[in-house]
A and B are shown apart, each in its own frame.
Chain A
Amino acid sequence: MSSRARPEFDPELKAGLAVVGGVFPPTITPNLIAFMRRSYASPPIDDTLRGRAITRSEHTIAGHRGEPIQVSVLRPTRAGSPRPGIVFVHSGGLMFGDRFSGADLVLDWVDNLGAVLVAVEYRLAPEFPDPFPREDCYAALEWAAATAGQLGIRHDRLMVAGASSGGGLAAGMALAARDRDGPALCGQVLDYPMLDDRGVTASTGQFDGVGVWDRVSNETGWSALLGEARGGPDVSPYAAPARATDLSRLPPAFIDVGAAEIFRDEAIAYADGLWTAGGDAELHVWSGGFHAFDIFAPHTVVARGMVRTRDTWVEKILAD
């Protein structure tokens, strides 16, 4: 039966779903990927940047296998000395979205903390399955570190951040940077991250057909990335960080997630794994929150709380 016990949505967020559902259906099957690519495309970046003292530059860099990918660098218009840097990985279930999806929330870090944001246009599944997305991201991280001098980024203050699929990819970048002796990171911001391809947690099965991003959507996303390998023994922890068996020696992590979304349990488990390995992690579980509610309903009490709490942590790590 479909009447499974689950936490209620917060009333303001539930009201928001009346609008959100028209753009982002709860259940995304492969035949909806084309629709989602239109509905989840970010608004024109110049509109987003209007009224902000932010300068944008575009760069074509070598992604996975040396093939060209696009990267945008967003810096405070008046940055004198080298600034903290953030490699930002966008949301969109590994299949849609672009490097500016959800960017308005992280642009506040450029405005308020003077950070330099590096937004990577990683290639999307299913056309570009694993390892394209994660290795494109890692290439952008290495590029940001290697050209830090020219970009005006401080070597000692480089962070990765991402939301949803981008959160999973950011966690994967931190693991890969550790294992490959890559760039030193001062933090990882993992917003409601997509970490586990196995779909075995209790929360994964609690929200079929409601909210944003249900179990079926998640299977669609992971299958697009991993194909037949999904849920099997041969999945890289850089693609699905919940697979990592060693969570030691990682940068401080900030993890937030909604209590009413399928990623709740994998986010909690990842924080727990970091603590167990002696690491530094801060975890916030927001009552009544559906997936990515801060992007879809930023005007609500819960979303303002989430954004404020996250910004406070980022300030602690990055600010002068």
Chain B
Amino acid sequence: MQELLGRISALDPQASLGLRVIACFDELIIGNVNTRALLSAAASLSGCNAGYQSDLPPRSLRVSPRGEIVAPDDGPPTPGSCSAITAEGLTVWIERDGEPHANDAIVLERLALAVRIRLGGGRREIDGRRDLGLLLDPTVPTETRRLAAARLNLVSTARYRVIAAPLFAVWDEHPSGAEDVVATPYGSIHALVVPHDHAPVPARPIGTGPATDVDHLHRSFRTAVVALRLCDPEVAPSVLADDYGGLVGLLADLPLDSDLPDVDSLDAIMSHPWGSVTVDALVRTSSVRQAARNAGVHHSTLQTRLDTIIAELGYDPLDNGIGRTRFGLASLVWRLRHSRVLDLPAPTTPSSPTPLR
């Protein structure tokens, strides 16, 4: 995989390889793979042998970048011929000849954590996850979250927002702040904490959560993930939860597979070539004329489409009673159900071909 990391760099010099390394080890830890598999991944990512040695039980293993076992040396290689981390009777290393590579430190750090967990350094270690993961998990006790926030230099009197992005988001500018890869039901998400009054972050796709105090940042994160999933690469590469008031927060708590006939009935409408743009235009207005302008069509055309929609739904989306609310909510849930923003990495296309190594 070292070669793949090299290709990613060549294609996109801005790409954060460290986050990919972290996400890789996160999956290995969740998958509860054995030490050979952990060393194989570290060796493959770094392109050189990786190994570990534990005191109790006395055990050691060296693995090549191809995942093959390498005959043991006399213990861990001497300092200088490799990078190593030793803690609590466990040493892990990668056997780099010469100068360390850019990702060696993060590979080694993640390897040490993963091996310790696998060796039963405790389920305790899993709870001792990284601070941002703790802070953004509502099932973690408030006091633990506050301690994690303090370690991240987040102040209890200040307000912050969480930004959610896929690992492959494109950042024109990357604000500094607490950040990490956090596991969610939608896969690994890149989470970043910024002050509540931070300028809009130029990156895509991203979702920005509402401003909260430290105790409720998990809420900001959950909402930011929903905002992210409402992104559309073409139309809305960045979504602010604030633009939807409390609505996006409401959606964060809704099981998407729940039985919602209003959402199902949108399927037929959305299958029309004009479906998506017309629904969006109707959601954002209360008159046919304005909706026609939003959609960029003649009002008689829009009226025809509206008649089709009313016939299909059985209610009028512009009805000033409950119809508008039903329609607006149904269209948001429909967009979430059909969200592809996390499926589709957005490869950058450099203007000139880059030689690949």
Chain A residues engaging chain B, CB cutoff 8 angstroms: 1-3, 10-12, 14-23, 25-27, 32, 34-35, 38-39, 41, 43-44, 208-210, 296-301, 303-304
Contacts and interface: CB of A to CB of B under 8 A. Distances in A.
Given A15-B25, A18-B20, A19-B45, 19 more contacts: A12-B28, A12-B31, A15-B27, A15-B33, A16-B1, A17-B27, A19-B4, A20-B4, A22-B11, A22-B167, A25-B345, A26-B344, A32-B347, A35-B347, A38-B353, A43-B3, A43-B356, A43-B357, A300-B40
B33 to A, nearest CB: 5
Contacts of A21: 167-168, 345
A208 B338 CA distance: 12
Contacts of B12: 22
Contacts of B28: 11-12, 15
A299 B24 contact: no
Nearest to B339: A2
Contacts of A15: 23-28, 31, 33, 41
Contacts, number: 127
Interface string B3-24: 1110110011001000011011
B8 A298 contact: no
A209 B44 contact: no
B349 A19 contact: no
Given A299-B67, A304-B67, A12 B8 contact: no
A1 B357 CA distance: 40
A43 B66 CA distance: 17
Interface in B24-61: 24-28, 30-33, 36-37, 40-41, 43-45
B337 interface: yes
Interface string B68-111: 10000000000000000000000000000000000000000000
B33 A11 contact: yes
A14 B7 CA distance: 19
B25 A19 contact: no
Nearest to A22: B8
A304 B168 CA distance: 28
Interface residues on B, range: 35 or more
B168 A22 contact: yes
B353 A18 contact: no
A2 B43 CA distance: 35
A14 B27 CA distance: 7
A296 B37 CA distance: 15
12 contacts: A1-B256, A12-B31, A12-B41, A14-B27, A16-B41, A19-B5, A22-B20, A25-B347, A38-B353, A299-B1, A299-B44, A301-B67
Contacts of B340: 27, 209
Given A12-B28, A12-B41, A18-B27, A298 B67 contact: yes
A23 B8 contact: yes
Contacts of A39: 7, 11, 347, 356
Contacts of B33: 11-12, 15
Contacts of A18: 20-21, 23-24, 26-27, 167, 188
B145 to A, nearest CB: 26
Interface in B292-311: none
Q: Which of A19, A21, A303: most chain B Cβ within 10 A?
A: A19
Contacts of B7: 22-23, 39
Contacts of A210: 343
Nearest to A210: B343
A1 B3 CA distance: 36
Nearest to B188: A18
Contacts of B37: 11-12, 300-301
B65 A11 contact: no
A122 B7 CA distance: 24
Contacts of B32: 11
A41 B40 CA distance: 25
Interface string B346-357: 010100011011
B257 interface: yes
Contacts of B26: 15, 18
B354 A38 contact: yes
Contacts of A301: 36-37, 67
B24 A16 contact: yes
Contacts of B5: 19
Contacts of B357: 43-44
A296 B4 CA distance: 8
Contacts of A17: 27
Contacts of B44: 297-299
B35 to A, nearest CB: 12
A32 B233 CA distance: 14
B42 to A, nearest CB: 10
A25 B337 contact: no
Contacts of B354: 38
A7 B218 CA distance: 31
Closest 3 CB pairs of A and B: A11-B31, A209-B343, A299-B67
A296 B24 CA distance: 14
A300 B44 CA distance: 9
A306 B82 CA distance: 31
Q: Which of B5, B27, B167: most chain A Cβ within 10 A?
A: B27
A305 B274 CA distance: 50
